[in-house]
């Protein structure tokens, strides 16, 4: 079984460069399908989910070439083909292909998307929105067939904030006939990046970064080169590692302006920061203080993707902390693993109450999903002794090389194959 072995108990010291953003690049790769020609995506992280997205693009006869950190997508041969179901089912972002493919080739047959096991993750908002834009959708038990003769602009008011539905409707709208309005749109920086990419390619979008997007359909888009912004969630994960273990680290290229809710939460726990264009300096000297309440929310609130990492920091903070998860109903899956390491945590529906302890103990623990898995590695870094986090592949869906990054921050850790012993 693939795993990560961490020798914990050391303060962090050093610097590392933050990779390109997973949540920005996946919809942008889907958006290249809207463009006839060759797009160059720079600063494209080499992570599991990007490899799956590339495989999906290739299954539609796109040619995709990686040269270092740049991925070139040639879409001129785009054709209707069966998508490999393992890549569709492994990640939620495969649903992004729906809006783009309907715009380019008018029909799509696909299985329901997968992703981390953090909640029910329905796609009803995506499908309802597309129906309003002239798409006929037949649902089956394991997937659906969607078809349109012409996408038409429509008015959408999302009943609650959804990152995925906002992105999908945006992708469907840029080449649709007429005007589309998306109210109560998600305001995540990754949506602004998608708007930026599309606008540079010739789309007409007003309100990027706000909760009201107005998209006026254009006839076609043109090929461009685009640089993917740095990953605020990866930067936040290493910030949380410093909160856990103490020390002083510099996160090169960390997108500080997108990280304000995270920085504020960490400041309340006692961390100090220096923000600059070059990145983020994080200093944690004394033992961290508990946080009476931290609640996840859509942007600009505290991101659900950093809930597990901060929960881990709370386990070693002084006093009682409370974390409330408001986006997904099943996102406390790391709690049993943290308990094995000596953490004191009680779960009450979507709240967890954490009584901080001086130190965690190394253990063999299991990652079950991407962000929770990374948080367990952070727990290993603060724990006394050796920790083994199994199922490394979940973490590799979103982190290019977490061991390399942590080594640069002064933590001894390595990738290993952990033997599974039959009993
Ligand atoms: C969500 C997070 C995003 C995070 C990603 C991966 C928010 C608002 N979204 O994005 O920050 O990076 O997970 O962890 O923080 N929903 C429906 N029907 C739909 C679509 C969504 O009921 O058709 C519900 C979901 O179950 C969830 C909420 O809406 O409770 C937000 O989901 P959404 O933002 O769409 O999820 P992701 O795009 O995966």
Q: How far apart are CA 248 and CA 223, in angstroms?
A: 42
Nearest CA to ligand 1 atom 15: 298
User: Dihedral of CA 366/370/376/378: which sign?
Assistant: positive
Q: Of 179, 303, 169, which Cα lies nearest the Cα of 240?
A: 303
The predicted-structure confidence for 313-363, as pLDDT tens digits, reads as follows: 999 999 999 999 999 877 899 999 999 999 999 999 999 999 999 999 999
- Does 347 reside within a domain? yes
Active-site annotation holder among 62, 89, 116, 242: 116
Atom of ligand 1 nearest to the CA of 329: 30
Position with higher pLDDT, 115 vs 81: 81
Q: How far apart are CA 202 and CA 198, in angstroms?
A: 6
31 and 161, same domain (yes or no):
yes
71 and 205, same domain (yes or no):
yes
Mutation pick for ligand 1 pocket among 113, 163, 307, 325 (CB with most ligand atoms within 8 Å): 163
- pLDDT(421) > 70: no
Q: How far apart are CA 389 and CA 366, in angstroms?
A: 5
Of 202, 227, 252, the one marking the end of a domain is 227
Atom of ligand 1 nearest to the CA of 327: 30
- Report the pLDDT value the prediction gives residue 286, as an integer from 0 to 100: 85
Mean pLDDT of 53-80: 93
- Report the pLDDT value the prediction gives residue 255, as an integer from 0 to 100: 98
314 and 290, same domain (yes or no):
yes
297 and 179, same domain (yes or no):
no
- Does 355 reside within a domain? yes
Q: What is the residue whose two structure tokens read 């589309």?
A: 180
211 and 93, same domain (yes or no):
yes
Alpha helices in 211-259 (DSSP H): 232-245
By the 8 A CB rule, do 23 and 47 touch? no
Of 195, 227, 259, the one marking the end of a domain is 227
Mutation pick for ligand 1 pocket among 118, 121, 231, 305 (CB with most ligand atoms within 8 Å): 121
pTM, two decimal places? 0.96
Count of alpha carbons within 13 angstroms of residue 129, beta-carbon side: 28
255 and 318, same domain (yes or no):
yes
- Report the pLDDT value the prediction gives residue 418, as an integer from 0 to 100: 86
Count of alpha carbons within 13 angstroms of residue 327, beta-carbon side: 20
12 and 87, same domain (yes or no):
no
Nearest CA to ligand 1 atom 33: 162
- Report the pLDDT value the prediction gives residue 119, as an integer from 0 to 100: 56
Q: Which pair of tokens denotes residue 34?
A: 């809207």
Atom of ligand 1 nearest to the CA of 121: 26
- Does 168 reside within a domain? yes
286 and 206, same domain (yes or no):
no
Q: What confidence tier does 63 reach under pLDDT thresholds 50, 70, 90?
A: very high
- Does 422 reside within a domain? no
Of 227, 247, 269, the one marking the end of a domain is 227
Per-residue burial over 35-63, b if 16 or more Cβ lie within 10 Å, else e, is: beebbbbebbbebbbbebbbbbbeebebe
Atom of ligand 1 nearest to the CA of 123: 23
Q: Is 328 exposed, middle or buried (0-12, 13-18, 19+ CB in 10 A)?
A: middle
251 and 203, same domain (yes or no):
no
Nearest CA to ligand 1 atom 1: 163
In the residue annotation, 62 being an active-site residue is answered as no
54 and 179, same domain (yes or no):
yes
Residues with CB under 6 A from ligand 1: 23, 92, 119-126, 160-165, 186, 188, 298, 303-305, 327-328
Cβ neighbour number for residue 87 with a 10 Å cutoff = 21
- Report the pLDDT value the prediction gives residue 4, as an integer from 0 to 100: 98
Atom of ligand 1 nearest to the CA of 119: 26
- pLDDT(291) > 80: yes
Q: How many domains does the chain have?
A: 2
- Report the pLDDT value the prediction gives residue 328, as an integer from 0 to 100: 87
- Does 15 reside within a domain? yes
- Report the pLDDT value the prediction gives residue 168, as an integer from 0 to 100: 96
Cα(327) to centroid(ligand 1), Å: 7
Which CATH number characterizes residue 66's domain? 3.65.10.10
- Percentage of the chain modeled with pLDDT above 90: 87
- Does 266 reside within a domain? yes
31 and 166, same domain (yes or no):
yes
- Does 71 reside within a domain? yes
- Does 423 reside within a domain? no
* φ, ψ for residue 356, nearest 5 deg: -65, 145
Position with higher pLDDT, 331 vs 276: 276
Mutation pick for ligand 1 pocket among 185, 189, 327, 331 (CB with most ligand atoms within 8 Å): 327
88 and 135, same domain (yes or no):
yes
Nearest CA to ligand 1 atom 26: 121
Quote the domain boundaries for residue 356: 2-19+230-417
Residues in the chain: 423
- 3-state SS class at 262: helix
Q: Of 398, 397, 378, 396, which Cα lies nearest the Cα of 387?
A: 378
């Amino acid at each position: 079984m693939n795993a990560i072995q961490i020798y914990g108990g050391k303060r962090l010291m050093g610097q590392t460069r933050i990779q390109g953003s997973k949540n920005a690049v996946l919809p942008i790769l889907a958006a290249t399908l809207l463009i006839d020609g060759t797009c160059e995506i720079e600063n494209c992280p080499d992570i599991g989910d990007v490899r799956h997205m590339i495989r999906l693009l290739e299954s539609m006869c796109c040619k995709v070439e990686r040269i270092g950190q740049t991925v070139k997508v040639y879409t001129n041969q785009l054709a209707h083909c069966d998508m490999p179901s393992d890549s569709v089912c492994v990640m939620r972002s495969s649903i992004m292909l729906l809006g783009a493919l309907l715009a380019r080739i008018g029909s799509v047959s696909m299985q329901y998307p997968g992703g981390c096991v953090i909640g029910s993750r329905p796609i009803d908002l995506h499908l309802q929105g597309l129906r309003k834009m002239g798409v006929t959708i037949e649902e089956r038990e394991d997937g659906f067939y969607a078809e349109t003769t012409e996408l038409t602009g429509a008015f959408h008011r999302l009943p609650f904030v959804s990152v995925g539905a906002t992105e999908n409707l945006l992708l469907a709208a840029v080449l649709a006939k007429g005007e589309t309005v998306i109210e109560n749109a998600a305001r995540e920086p990754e949506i602004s990046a998608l708007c930026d990419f599309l606008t540079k390619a010739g789309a007409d979008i007003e309100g990027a970064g706000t909760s009201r997007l107005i998209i006026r359909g254009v006839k076609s888009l043109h090929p461009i080169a685009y640089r993917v912004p740095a990953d605020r969630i990866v930067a936040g994960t290493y910030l949380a590692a410093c909160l856990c273990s103490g020390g002083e680290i510099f996160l090169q290229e960390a997108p500080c302006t997108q990280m304000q809710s995270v920085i504020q939460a960490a400041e309340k726990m006692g961390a100090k920061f220096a923000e600059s264009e070059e990145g983020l300096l994080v200093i944690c000297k004394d033992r961290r203080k508990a946080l009476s309440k931290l609640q996840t929310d859509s942007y600009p609130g505290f991101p659900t993707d950093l809930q597990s990492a901060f929960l881990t920091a709370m386990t070693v903070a002084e006093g009682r902390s409370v974390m409330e998860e408001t986006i997904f109903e099943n996102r406390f899956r790391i709690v049993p693993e943290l308990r094995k390491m000596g953490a004191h945590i009680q779960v009450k529906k979507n709240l967890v109450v954490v009584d901080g302890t001086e130190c965690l103990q190394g253990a063999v623990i299991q990652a079950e999903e991407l962000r929770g898995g990374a948080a367990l590695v952070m727990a290993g870094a603060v724990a006394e002794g050796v920790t083994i986090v199994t199922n490394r592949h979940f973490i590799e869906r979103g982190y290019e090389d977490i061991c390399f990054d942590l080594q640069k921050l002064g933590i001894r850790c390595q990738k290993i194959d952990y033997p599974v012993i039959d009993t």
